[in-house]
């Protein structure tokens, strides 16, 4: 049984979020939750929120009553969202481009052993 949660349009660079997502893939859900609580990054807080949602979706599924101890993080995928483009004045009348990137976070938990 799989359960998933998606957080979309998060104001965070996908490159920064993928560093945290790589750490929790394949780990037990309880261990992954403890890990993201200790990592001092914005990405860890947002991925932790999505992971908690996926775990709650799995626990509240009426077909299967699984506990957090049985769940494993099958995948934590960070996709690129739309990029807002802004410009900042530079020297000699030029403009420098600023990209404000967004991300889509998808976490899938499962109770099956891989």
pLDDT, tens digit (0-9, with 9 covering 90-100), for 94-104? 999 999 999 99
pLDDT of residue 58: 92
Contact call for residues 71 and 110 (beta carbons, < 8 A): yes
∠ CA 79-84-40, rounded to 5°? 55
According to the CATH classification, is domain 2-110 in 3.90.470.10? yes
Least confidently predicted of 74-78, 92-96, 99-103, 110-114: 110-114
pLDDT of residue 66: 82
Segment 36-47 mean pLDDT: 96
Whether 67 has a pLDDT exceeding 90, the answer reads no
Stated pTM of the model: 0.90
Counting every residue written for the chain, the total comes to 114
Hey, where are the domains in the chain? Answer: 2-110
Q: Tokens 């775990």: give the residue.
A: 55
H-type alpha helices, the chain = 14-24, 29-38, 42-59
Segment 59-87 mean pLDDT: 90
pLDDT of residue 1: 86
Segment 17-44 mean pLDDT: 96
pLDDT of residue 114: 56
């Amino acid at each position: 049984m799989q359960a998933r949660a998606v957080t979309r349009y998060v104001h965070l660079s996908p490159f920064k979020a993928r560093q945290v997502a790589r750490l929790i893939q394949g780990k037990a859900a309880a261990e992954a939750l403890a890990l993201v609580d200790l990592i001092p990054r914005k990405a860890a807080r947002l991925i932790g929120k999505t992971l908690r949602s996926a775990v709650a979706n799995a626990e509240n599924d009426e077909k299967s009553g699984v506990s957090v101890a049985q769940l494993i993080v099958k995948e934590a995928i960070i996709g690129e969202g739309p990029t807002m483009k802004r410009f900042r004045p530079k020297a000699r009348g030029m403009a420098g481009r600023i990209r404000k990137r967004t991300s889509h976070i998808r976490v899938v938990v499962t109770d099956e052993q891989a």
